[in-house]
Amino acid sequence: MRVVLAPVIAKQLKQLGYGGTVAELKRFQSERGIRPSGVVDAQTRITLERAVRLAQESRRDQFVARVPPPPARLSVPAPGEHVIDERLADAIAEFKRQNPKVEHDLSRWAGRPVVKRTA
């Protein structure tokens, strides 16, 4: 008679780099200091779940460690304060000087509700 592990247990073992077989379960148990019976008892289940959780956290930490830090010039504006690139501010001012009677819809650029301003 061939013994097969439950799909959940086999998947957890594979996540840890083991095969999804009873022999691999026994190897997992012996490496963790559990009597290698090939049976998923309470101690094996808890150890397996803990190992999978630690492996997932480790992968997440490695991903977060690869995210580059924000640029040094990045700052968070105070409430009510708006940060605009100086070149953009100059271009807007020049446009307004050249087009004094035009209504400007700033919501398209600022991502806010429609606000119409006359230059």
What is residue 58's predicted lDDT score, i.e. its pLDDT?
A: 77
Coil vs helix vs strand at 21? coil
Q: Judge whether 40 and 6 are in contact, CB under 8 Å.
A: yes
Mean pLDDT estimate for the chain: 76
* Each residue's pLDDT tens digit, 70-110: 566 555 555 555 656 677 777 877 887 887 766 655 555 55
Q: Give pTM, 2 decimals.
A: 0.50
**What is the C-alpha separation between 27 and 7, in angstroms, rounded?**
18
pLDDT per residue over 28-77, tens digit each?
999 999 999 999 999 999 999 999 998 888 776 665 556 566 566 555 55
Q: Which of 77, 102, 13 is nearest to 49 (CA)?
A: 13
User: Cβ atoms within 10 A of the Cβ of 25, count?
Assistant: 26
Determine the pLDDT at residue 92.
Answer: 76
Q: Cα(11)–Cα(92) distance, rounded to whole angstroms?
A: 58
